[in-house]
Amino acid sequence: MNPRPEPRAALPSRRDVLHWMSAASLMGAAASFVASSLATRSAQAAAQGGGRKLLTIFLRGGNDGLNTLIPLHDPQYSAAGVRPTLRIPANLALDLGTGGAAFHPAMARALEVFQAGELAAVARVGYANSSLSHFSSQRFLETGLPGDDSLDEGWVARWARVQASADSLAAVSVSPQVQRMFLGPHVVANVPDLAQYALSADPVASKILGSGAHGLASSYGALPRVGYDGLVRRTGSAMRESLLALSTLPPHPFAPDSFPADPAACAAEGLPSGWWAATFLANVRDALQILQGTGCTIAGVEMPGFDHHVGQGAANGDHAARLMVVAHALRSLRREAQQSGVWSDLAVLVVSEFGRTSRENGSGGTDHGRGGVTLLAGGSVHGGVHHCDPVSWPANATLFSDANKYIAHRTDYRALYAEVLRHHLLLGDPELDQVIPGFTQLSGPEFQELGLFV
Amino acid sequence: MLRPHRYFHALALSAALAACDAKSSHSSPITDPGIGAIPPQALAQAGHALRRIGFGPSPQSLQDIGQQGVAWYVEQQLHPLLIDESALEPLATWTALLSLPQSEQDAALLAQLVERQFVRAIYSPRQLVESMTLFWEGHFNTNYWTVFNWSLNGEARATWLETRENELFRAKALGRFEELLRASATSPAMLITLDNVVNVAGNPNENYARELVELFTMGVDNGYTQHDIEELARCFTGWGVCEVAPADVDDPLAACAPGSVGATLAFHFDASRHDGGPKTIFAGTDHELALPARSGNAGLDDGFDVLRHLSNLPETAGFLCKKLARKFVSDTPSPQLIQVCADVWVATSGDLTEVLRTLLTSADFMSEENTWSKVETPFESLCSVVRALDGRATREIELTNFRATLELKLHQSLFRWPEPDGFPELGDEQLGTARMLGRIAFNQWIYLGQGDDIHFDVANLVAHHGAGDGSAANVVKALGKLLYQDNFAAADEALALDFLETDANHAPLPLDPHAGDYAQRLKQVAAFIASLPQGVEQ
């Protein structure tokens, strides 16, 4: 996997830009009709979930938890031969004043969220017998069922199904590829880029989409044929409905420095100037706009590039750059959501498929590991640090506590999901057991609630 | 060197390319009923075979296979060198820039590489080769941006290296698996993407070793351990890249010549970085591989021995057969089919022509339950619309709309998938509302984009395939057959007629073949029919 910044994937020419700029969102009577019914539905959804919102941020590739939330109290972290080039010196680390833990220096922008008591950092998150494969481990985090390669449905898609929500915007994957969390027989919207979520505006477009017994609207509602046909038709319906609803979304009201939209604007904010950073921040912006402006309850974004086998860097470098962008996003989310009055209803969950080896490898990087770090931010979050203090993180006995290479997990990731579902999205236990299969039957210290919400 | 200008070649191409595999169906006399004369079952079978083996049916290919049968087509496709590709010669001229030496390339050519793949998929009569080329691109995925960011002059090199991989995968598409694995393992793009460039004795980097067994050969958790990965990583220590003289690109033992005239980034073995000790992989199993201590350049053979060993393991045969069966037969292939395929793999040492013959001549391939059971990739879906409606690349042959739609609206960027697992294979992983929308956005160009990129002459097309009278009913029937053959139900026909013969307020608007808007209305209804749900399926 690519540990270095990636410029934007597409190569639009001037002609493309003209085409896409002229591609205004859909208009017409059909749009306003669906929008009004959708507004009703959004109001219903808001009543059910109490208006609570969740944004998931998936750091793909395996984020190095040890250099994200640094155990300053453990001398082994700084011991000779452990992390000769990757170690963050104590004088650069951002001590969180909790008796051990510090943020990576690139995460300074998240300090204002932490100091407000609205950011929780949980060390040593994982699951039993965790897989060292990116693809298996990502799957387990996204389905909510570790060790089972056969379960395809994502936990967010299952949440939407359990809610029996007919709103295709109840959950939205704001990513080019639908994240597995959002995949399932209950189709929810996938909006990689709000500005591109449109057809070329002409009367024929409305006629193709149709309504009632006409056009694709009729076809999407027809009985499925073979194979994937049922899923295709449900996806079509969700597409049509989400397209019409999003076409009435007002322009975003955000401050220009919150989500800089291109490399130059990122650089002006002191952020990395790759397209990957601007694209990620645009996804976060779109996700917040959708969460604020529609009945959407769960939105998800992702950032690739955390597989730092080579040239990871310490206080500076690629890992630092990515952490800085994540921290910037957390700060902007808080500022903007406070501005629009939704911060107390918003939770932001930052996860990754695994942590990395505690020992640095021979190429200035780290290899796939086990226990990692999860972050949770929000206006109703009870901030603080978990399992990174001298009592719960024994010095000289934690860095290599699993197979003499990895950090053993202390908290199962499903316990964190469950806490969000129960206390933030107000899910009852029978529903929770469906969303996180059999969760209430699990017991042991790794499934304990941490008190993440006030 | 004076660089030929791409537009010069494009404009010189006065003869348009047609989406026919031999000759244009437009040359048929008006009395020829075209695909209308093919019996329904033969038409359906031809359509299925063309959708699965390649990038969908064109009118001419439906007629060819409708007459000669699927078995004939499969056998023809398995012998690509016997298929005349001379109609594609203008393409070779057009893409001449991609043949420039590495030192003279530039970043803009990535667009050209993508466009060349489009043109080949749509217009090449060697459809199976093009399918398999993309299969290997996905299986041995490398990311353009990784090379771009890794290297000085990354822009130039990344396109050159991706082009070279693309050409190797095409040349070896139906060859032996070991050759493909070896081509991938020694490709600088792969050596850089999965970090073999920093794999050194004493501090091995296990990134390539892990994906070699997990993604490229055996499949995840299928007969190997973490210790095996560490031993495998030792075998590839010393593998890397360096700049060599252009004549030395295929010699990993040639002297590095950084900064020399025409210096080219190529596979290089550095014996001083190789771990020469003995190695045992899969120790104690029935597929144990013991390698002796090797000193100096002999150490290069460790890696090659590993690649040969892995290529012929039953685990590899099973993993690759399942993946191929998913591509060609069903997302949920039967265990029996996978076993028969794997047996052929082992018996022929991974001869892909034989392996593919086994799959494509199996009863499962043509069975009722496996027809219309898969989802087209975004790339396939754009190509199949152009083929079905006999779209022609005209004028510039600069497929900007294609590329922009694929990348910005359908979110598939060839040669730039960021993770080593390649673009998703299964239907439910590919489907999403954004891609549903993107496909319709592309179909809009059938009626919006006359003279731009691809030209569609729908009126002429349907006239040659059963709608010579220009009546709305026959127009809709002809388009249904061209796009979907047997999978165009009465309900689809009724919806399409409703679309064609009513206005925006659903008031009647009869179609008049002699009116000035006739051709444009036909393009609009073609865009509608192409946007039906089955337009995403195969």
DSSP string, B271-300: GGGS--S-EEESTTSTT-EEE----GGGGH
Q: Tokens at residue A212, please?
A: 């009632």
Q: Tokens at residue B318, please?
A: 């099973």
Mean pLDDT over each residue of chain A, to the nearest integer: 89
Residues of B whose CB is below 8 A from A307: 207
pTM (predicted TM-score): 0.90
State the Cα–Cα distance between residues A405 and A239, nearest whole angstrom. Answer: 46
| Beta pairing class for B239-244 and A384-386 | unpaired
State the Cα–Cα distance between residues A230 and B339, nearest whole angstrom. Answer: 30
pLDDT in tens, B254-303: 999 998 888 889 999 999 999 999 999 999 999 999 999 999 999 999 99
Q: Partners of A58 in the beta sheet?
A: A302, A351
Mean pLDDT, residues B298-318 taken together? 98
Share of chain A above pLDDT 90, in %: 82
A10·B533 Cβ contact <8 A? no
Share of chain B above pLDDT 70, in %: 88
Nearest to B373 among A10, A226, A243 (CB): A226
Q: What is the per-residue pLDDT for A37?
A: 46
Q: What is the per-residue pLDDT for A63?
A: 98
Q: What is the per-residue pLDDT for B1?
A: 33
Residues of B whose CB is below 8 A from A187: 433
Residues of A whose CB is below 8 A from B198: 310, 362-363
Q: In sequence order, what E strands does B184-339 have?
A: 239-244, 264-269, 279-281, 289-291
Where does the pLDDT of residue B77 fall: very low under 50, low under 70, confident under 90, or very high at 90 and above? very high
How close A31 comes to chain B (CA, Å)? Answer: 14
Classified as helix, coil or strand, B340 is: helix
Nearest to B428 among A149, A191, A231 (CB): A231
Assess if residue A234 is contained within a domain.
no
What is the 3-state secondary structure of B485-530?
Answer: CCCCCHHHHHHHHHHHCECCCCCECCCCCCCCCHHHHHHHHHHHHH
A178·B429 Cβ contact <8 A? yes
Assess if residue A122 is contained within a domain.
yes
By the 8 A CB rule, do B62 and B70 touch?
no
By the 8 A CB rule, do A178 and A301 touch?
no
Determine which of B195, B433, B448 to mutate to test the interface with A (most A C-beta atoms within 10 Å): B433
State the Cα–Cα distance between residues A75 and B171, nearest whole angstrom. Answer: 56
Chain A contact present for B221, CB below 8 A: yes
The H-or-E segment that residue A378 falls in is strand A372-378
The H-or-E segment that residue A262 falls in is none
Mean pLDDT, residues B512-526 taken together? 97
Chain A contact present for B533, CB below 8 A: yes
A362·B110 Cβ contact <8 A? no
By the 8 A CB rule, do A287 and A309 touch?
no
How close B220 comes to chain A (CA, Å)? Answer: 8
pLDDT at A312 over 60: yes
Q: Tokens at residue A297, please?
A: 């309850």
In chain A, the residue whose alpha carbon lies closest to the alpha carbon of B112 is A11
More confident residue, A255 or B96: A255
The H-or-E segment that residue A192 falls in is none
Q: Partners of A351 in the beta sheet?
A: A58
Assess if residue A356 is contained within a domain.
yes
Q: What is the per-residue pLDDT for B97?
A: 55
Chain A contact present for B490, CB below 8 A: no
Nearest to A309 among B195, B411, B440 (CB): B195
Mean pLDDT, residues B86-107 taken together? 63
Classify residue B460 by burial, with Cβ atoms within 10 Å: 0-12, 13-18, 19+.
middle
pLDDT at A242 over 70: yes
Chain A contact present for B508, CB below 8 A: no
In chain B, the residue whose alpha carbon lies closest to the alpha carbon of A2 is B146
Classified as helix, coil or strand, B239 is: strand
Q: What is the per-residue pLDDT for B526?
A: 98
Q: What is the per-residue pLDDT for B92?
A: 55
How far CA A84 is from CA of A81, A87, A165, A286, A366, in Å, comes to: 6, 6, 52, 40, 12
Calculate the CA A351 to chain-centre distance: 7
pLDDT at A380 over 50: yes
The backbone torsions φ and ψ at residue B201, rounded to the nearest 5 degrees and listed phi first, read -50, 135
State the Cα–Cα distance between residues A289 and B62, nearest whole angstrom. Answer: 48
Q: Partners of B454 in the beta sheet?
A: B393
B418·A305 Cβ contact <8 A? yes
The H-or-E segment that residue A144 falls in is none
How close B273 comes to chain A (CA, Å)? Answer: 12
Q: What is the per-residue pLDDT for B423?
A: 95
Q: What is the per-residue pLDDT for B405?
A: 87
Chain A contact present for B153, CB below 8 A: no
In chain A, the residue whose alpha carbon lies closest to the alpha carbon of B527 is A208
Residues of B whose CB is below 8 A from A218: 495
Where does the pLDDT of residue B115 fall: very low under 50, low under 70, confident under 90, or very high at 90 and above? confident
Where does the pLDDT of residue B106 fall: very low under 50, low under 70, confident under 90, or very high at 90 and above? low
How close A367 comes to chain B (CA, Å)? Answer: 8
Classify residue B14 by burial, with Cβ atoms within 10 Å: 0-12, 13-18, 19+.
exposed
pLDDT in tens, B438-489: 999 999 989 987 545 788 999 999 999 999 999 999 999 999 999 999 999 9
pLDDT at A8 over 50: no
Assess if residue A387 is contained within a domain.
yes
Please enumerate, as own/partner, the contacts of B426-430 that have beta carbons within 8 Å and a separation of 24 or more: B426/B326, B426/B331, B427/A227, B427/A228, B427/A231, B427/B331, B427/B374, B427/B375, B428/A152, B428/A183, B428/A228, B428/A231, B428/B375, B429/A177, B429/A178, B429/A180, B429/A183, B430/B375, B430/B377, B430/B378
| Full residue range of the structural domain in which residue A276 is found | 52-197+253-447
Residues of A whose CB is below 8 A from B435: 190
First to last CA, chain A: 39
By the 8 A CB rule, do B464 and B28 touch?
yes
| Beta pairing class for A171-173 and A101-103 | unpaired
More confident residue, B202 or B103: B202
Nearest to A9 among B204, B407, B506 (CB): B407
Residues of A whose CB is below 8 A from B220: 133, 135-136, 149
Q: Which residues contact B167 (CB under 8 A, 6 or more apart)?
A: none
Number of domains in chain A: 1
B372·A191 Cβ contact <8 A? no
Assess if residue A304 is contained within a domain.
yes
pLDDT at A13 over 80: no
Q: What is the per-residue pLDDT for A23?
A: 30
By the 8 A CB rule, do B161 and B189 touch?
yes
Chain A contact present for B376, CB below 8 A: no
Residues of A whose CB is below 8 A from B205: 309-310, 361-363, 365, 367
Q: What is the per-residue pLDDT for B9?
A: 35
More confident residue, B403 or B199: B199
pLDDT at A171 over 80: yes
Mean pLDDT, residues B318-330 taken together? 98
Q: What is the per-residue pLDDT for A362?
A: 87
Chain A contact present for B441, CB below 8 A: yes
Q: What is the per-residue pLDDT for B17?
A: 53
Q: Which of the residue ranges A40-44, A281-285, B448-452 would you say has the lowest mean pLDDT?
A: A40-44
CATH of the domain at A329: 3.40.720
Where does the pLDDT of residue B15 fall: very low under 50, low under 70, confident under 90, or very high at 90 and above? very low
Nearest to B506 among A214, A232, A235 (CB): A214
Where does the pLDDT of residue A50 fall: very low under 50, low under 70, confident under 90, or very high at 90 and above? low
More confident residue, B20 or B38: B38
Q: If contacts are CB pairs under 8 Å, which of residues 414-433 in chain B contact chain A? A: 416, 418-421, 424, 427-429, 431-433
State the Cα–Cα distance between residues A5 and B215, nearest whole angstrom. Answer: 24
Closest CA to B395 of B443, B455, B447: B455
Calculate the CA A42 to chain-centre distance: 22
Closest CA to B117 of B136, B102, B101: B136
A173·B432 Cβ contact <8 A? yes
pLDDT at A268 over 50: yes
By the 8 A CB rule, do B191 and B238 touch?
no
A vs B: CB pairs below 8 A: 230
Nearest to B411 among A5, A177, A219 (CB): A177
Where does the pLDDT of residue B228 fall: very low under 50, low under 70, confident under 90, or very high at 90 and above? very high
Chain A contact present for B506, CB below 8 A: yes
Nearest to B205 among A13, A180, A362 (CB): A362
Closest CA to B253 of B264, B237, B263, B238: B238
Assess if residue A312 is contained within a domain.
yes
pLDDT in tens, B128-184: 999 999 999 999 999 998 888 887 667 678 888 999 999 999 999 999 999 999 999
How close A235 comes to chain B (CA, Å)? Answer: 6
B407·A203 Cβ contact <8 A? no
Mean pLDDT, residues B360-381 taken together? 97
Q: Which residues contact B41 (CB under 8 A, 6 or more apart)?
A: none
Calculate the CA A89 to chain-centre distance: 29
B434·A214 Cβ contact <8 A? no
Write down the residue that tokens 């897989």 correspond to.
A131
First to last CA, chain B: 46
Q: What length is written for chain A?
A: 454
Q: What is the per-residue pLDDT for A67?
A: 98
The H-or-E segment that residue A155 falls in is helix A155-163
How close B299 comes to chain A (CA, Å)? Answer: 20
How close B252 comes to chain A (CA, Å)? Answer: 22
